[in-house]
Amino acid sequence: NAGVTQTPKFRILKIGQSMTLQCTQDMNHNYMYWYRQDPGMGLKLIYYSVGAGITDKGEVPNGYNVSRSTTEDFPLRLELAAPSQTSVYFCASSRRGIIGGDEAFFGQGTRLTVV
Amino acid sequence: EDKVVQSPLSLVVHEGDTVTLNCSYEVTNFRSLLWYKQEKKAPTFLFMLTSSGIEKKSGRLSSILDKKELSSILNITATQTGDSAIYLCAVLTGANSKLTFGKGITLSVRP
């Protein structure tokens, strides 16, 4: 059971570089989310998507972009990496957006360091 | 702005103790409250609470929601070292199912 798969698991970027964090789910979930987790700060929502072709900003979207061309994939793009983006990134998905008793399934996370 | 506040931020107990973790929220368009356990990697789902006053139970863990007080508690009885983790509370809001997380409670259970 693959569930939610994130790649890469670890990455070190130099300031100003760009990269894409990949997230794919094989559960045919409509809703997908990107979170970042900083030490002692809990999880903060970056972007989310309610279905293919539809995305919306979360709490901390600045410096990031997303796209959702298919139901399965929800990549997160960092265009000009900054040290403030050093964090652990989690992708999650849910079937019905958790309305009616569903829960979010999380990927294993990507640890990103910007130096 | 939606807010979820957890307390205490950290807690150290001995095996066998009972702990109560608190979560309070100030949000618009509340749908549900969720508890997650996070060890070294990704959060894992514990409970979802939608109705006030109905306790959900799983082994030594239980949780209840109080919509009047805008809060929830997570109880762990007879704690074990394997319960050591960060416990995250999240509130689901809005038609588009946004999850707002608290900062988490770090629980350490000593042998």
Name the residue among A58, A99, A106 with its Cβ closest to that of B43: A106
Contact (Cβ atoms closer than 8 angstroms) between residue A86 and residue A35? no
Q: What was the pLDDT predicted at A101?
A: 43
Strand pairing class (A43-51; A54-57): antiparallel
Q: In this predicted model, what pLDDT tens digit does every residue of B23-38 receive, in sequence order?
A: 999 998 898 898 988 8
**Cβ of B7 under 8 Å from any chain A Cβ?**
no
Label residue A97 by pLDDT band (50, 70, 90).
Answer: low
Query: What digits encode the pLDDT tens for the residues A36-62?
Result: 988 766 778 899 888 999 998 887 899
- Residue A12 scores a pLDDT above 50: yes
Please give the Cα distance from A23 to A36 (Å, whole number): 14
Q: What's the 3-state SS for B31-69?
A: EEEEEEEECCCCCEEEEEECCCCCCEEECCEEEEEECCC
Per the CB < 8 Å rule, is B45 touching A103? yes
Are the CB atoms for A66 and A47 separated by under 8 Å? yes
Provide the pairing of β-strand B105-110 with B10-14.
parallel
User: Residue A54 pairs with which residues in a beta bridge?
Assistant: A51
Is the CB of A43 less than 8 angstroms away from the CB of B90? yes
Query: Among A4, A35, A57, A103, which would you mutate to test the B interface (most chain B Cβ atoms within 10 Å of its Cβ)?
Result: A103
CA distance B13 to B94: 37
Q: Quick one: tokens of A97?
A: 């957006």
Is A94's Cβ below 8 Å from some Cβ in B? yes
Query: In terms of C-beta density within 10 A (0-12 exposed, 13-18 middle, 19 or more buried), how is residue B95 classed?
Result: exposed
Residues of A in contact with B41 (CB under 8 A): 108-109
Between CA A83 and CA B3 the distance in angstroms is 26
- Please check whether residue A76 is in contact with residue A23, taking contact to mean a CB–CB distance below 8 angstroms: yes
Query: Is residue A97 less than 8 Å (CB to CB) from chain B?
Result: yes
Determine the residue type at B110: R
Mean pLDDT by 10 residues, chain B (111 residues): 90 97 94 85 80 91 96 98 94 71 92 94
Closest CA to A27 of A111, A107, A88: A107
pLDDT-derived band at A100, boundaries 50, 70, 90: very low
A&B contacts, CB < 8 Å:
65
For B61-106, give the DSSP string: EEEEEETTTTEEEEEE-S--GGG-EEEEEEEEETTTTEEEE---EE
Give the residue from A10, A30, A13 showing the smallest Cα distance to A74. A30
